[in-house]
Structure 1
Amino acid sequence: MCNTCIASIVYCIVQTINYIFLIFVPWETSDVSCQWRGYFGYMSISAATYSYLIQAISRLFFSKFSTKYPGLLTFRTHYYLILIHWIVVFIIPLSSVITKDIYFRPGLLCWVPLKYTIHVAYTAFAYYFVPVSSIIIIYIYIYRRIKNGSKRAEIILNTANDKRDLEVFRNIVILLSIYITGGIPTLLFLLFTIELCYLAGIVTFTLAVTVEKICTILLDRELRQVVWNIIFSRNRVTPFENTIIRTRHIVNFRRS
Structure 2
Amino acid sequence: MKVSGHQPCYIPWYGFFEKVAKVDIFAIHDIAQYEKGGYINRNLIKSSQGFLWLTIPIQIKGNKNTPIKEIKIDNTQDWKRRHWKAIIVNYNKSKYFRDYRDFFGDIYHSNWEYIYELNMSIISFIMDELNINTKLCYISEMECRHKKKSDFVLSLCKELQADNYLSGKLGKEYLNEKDFELEGINIDYQEIRKIEYQQLFNDFIPNLSIIDILFNCGPVRTEAIVRGERSFDERISFLSSSRR
Category of TM-score, reference length = shorter chain: 0.3 to 0.5
Asked which structure has the greater CA Rg, the reply is 1
The structure with higher relative contact order (CA 8 Å, sep 6+) is 2
Higher fraction of helix: 1
- TM-score, normalised relative to structure 2: 0.33
Higher fraction of strand: 2
